[in-house]
Structure 1
Amino acid sequence: MQRGELNVGQLVREKTAGEALLVGFTTYTGHVTAAQEWGDTADHRWVRPALEGSAEALFHQSGLGRFYLDMSPLHGDTLREPLLERAIGVIYRPETERLSHYFYVDIRDQFDVLFHLDETTALEPLDLTEGWDQQEPPETWPFGI
Structure 2
Amino acid sequence: MDPDEKIQAHLVSVWREPKKFFSIGGKEGMLVLTDKHLMFIHKTEAKIKWWQAITQRQVVNFIKSKNTMIIHDGYNEKNLIEDLENEKNIEISFDDITSINHEEKPWGSVLLLEYHKNGKEEKFQYSIAQDWVKYPAKEPTKYMKVDWAPFVQYIKDRQKFVE
TM-score by length of 1: 0.29
Q: TM-score w.r.t. structure 2 length?
A: 0.27
Q: Which has the larger radius of gyration?
A: 1
Q: Which has the higher contact order (CA 8 A, sep 6+)?
A: 1
